[in-house]
Amino acid sequence: SHSYSRRLQHWALLSVSLLNCLLSTACSVGLALAVALTVHSRGTHLVRGCNSSALPADARAAIATNDCPFNTTRIYDTALALWFPSLLLAAAEAVLSGRCCLVALVFQGIGPCAHSYGPEQV
């Protein structure tokens, strides 16, 4: 029963780490796409919901107007300042989850690395 419980824990570790790796990778890709589109469009996508003709084409020079539901003065810099660290953290999480997944595979005896570890090392 102790061996069964341990194998069940290893499969749970494998499942959760694989799911987290996939979600973190998707999050990283989404954030990278958001950063790329924002930089490419110079932030115009960020103020697209505003119907004011007073807004300039470059969001970095945008001014606060009553026609926009939010303050546009710092949206470009703030978005990028929040997205870059989030992107780095999501990528690090994906890498660490992938490593955790590999460890779970070694615990199960699956894969090329599994046979190089003895039972006392596992």
**Of 122 and 73, the one with more pLDDT:** 73
Longest dimension (CA), the chain: 71
Tell me which residue has tokens 């824990």: 9
**Of 93 and 48, the one with more pLDDT:** 93
Q: So where are the chain's domains? A: 1-49+87-108
Please give the radius of gyration of the chain, using alpha carbons only, rounded to the nearest integer.
23
CB 90 within 8 A of CB 99: no
Question: Confidence band (pLDDT; 50, 70, 90) for 14?
Answer: confident
pTM of the model: 0.71
Question: Would you call 41 helix, strand, or coil by DSSP?
Answer: coil
